[in-house]
Amino acid sequence: MTKTDRSRMAATAGFAVTSLLLVLIAGSYLTDTFSSLDWQGGEYAYAFVWVTLGSVLMRAVVKAAAPAPWRSLGSGMLITGVVGIVVVLTLVVLFVQGVESMNPS
């Protein structure tokens, strides 16, 4: 296995792990998994945002601290983090538009 192959696999692993976390949080929200802990929509949203921001911030840590083939792990995490941020911003815009369209007068 060449160094390029290892880098690609590391980037894929970073993308896959962070994506899996985001999908699990979304799935937990849809099935109300943590209702016994009194979680409502806000807690799931916080978890989604923290995983998104954490993956973006972890990119810098991984790039600085990891050995050469694993540095691309941070790139995969960055891609997922950016996609998560776009999803969050899209949901905020849709929510604001929905609230503005409910004009009672």
- pLDDT category of residue 52 using cuts at 50, 70 and 90: very high
CB 15 within 8 A of CB 79: yes
Q: How many domains does the chain have?
A: 1
Q: What percent of the chain stands above pLDDT 90? A: 48
- The residue with greater pLDDT, 85 or 6, is 85
pLDDT mean over 8-37:
91
Q: The domain containing residue 80 runs over which residues?
A: 3-101
Q: 94 to each of 49, 97, 105, how far by Cα in Å?
A: 17, 5, 21
Computed from CA positions of residues 51, 52, 57, 60, in that sequence, does the dihedral angle turn out positive or negative? positive
pLDDT mean over 47-57:
92
CB 52 within 8 A of CB 81: yes
pLDDT at 59: 87
